[in-house]
Amino acid sequence: MDQEAQEQLGETTSVEQNEALILTKTEELESTVKKSLVEELVEFNALERLLLMGLLPVKADYYNIKKTRQVRENLSLNEDEIKILNTHTTVLEDNKTNIDWTQINKQIKLKTIDFGEWLTGQITDELKKLHEEEGITESHISLYVLFVEDKEKEE
């Protein structure tokens, strides 16, 4: 219990007031913990950022689609990052593309993204849907662990 709560407890005279203060402080603490879990900022590499863009919803209400647009802009690669991506991308004879993600991720810095509670839920749902449809690829593993497995452990 913090010093402010102890001082408030010492100033109160009834058990009911003490219990009310303890309940209030407990609720504040629980709210802070829940908020920190939702607002936990995580760093993503270039590949994860591109994959996440594909998991974002394309329809929502005005406020959520506006937040989605902001997150999509934050996930996007900037001009210098695109140059790095192009440097490590080769087109093979059969028109398939080979991308050296190891080199790209060494050169492009990790980026911290704040999704917020609603968008985190949308990404989690989309990854669960991919799992059910057996559409998860090796590239999705780190995202699945972060958004699905780790969230299930917290619950």
Per-residue pLDDT of the chain in tens (155 residues, 90 and over written 9) = 555 555 554 554 566 766 666 666 666 655 554 444 445 678 999 999 999 999 999 999 999 999 999 999 999 999 999 999 999 999 988 888 999 999 999 999 999 999 989 999 999 999 999 999 999 999 999 999 999 987 666 66
pTM > 0.75:
no
pLDDT at 88: 93
CB neighbours of residue 133 within 10 Å: 8
State the maximum Cα–Cα separation within the chain, in Å, rounded to a whole number: 83
For residues 29-40, b (16+ Cβ closer than 10 Å) or e, as one string? eeeeeeeeeeee
Residue 137: C-alpha distances to residues 96, 127, 133 (Å) = 18, 11, 11
Tokens encoding 61: 């209400």
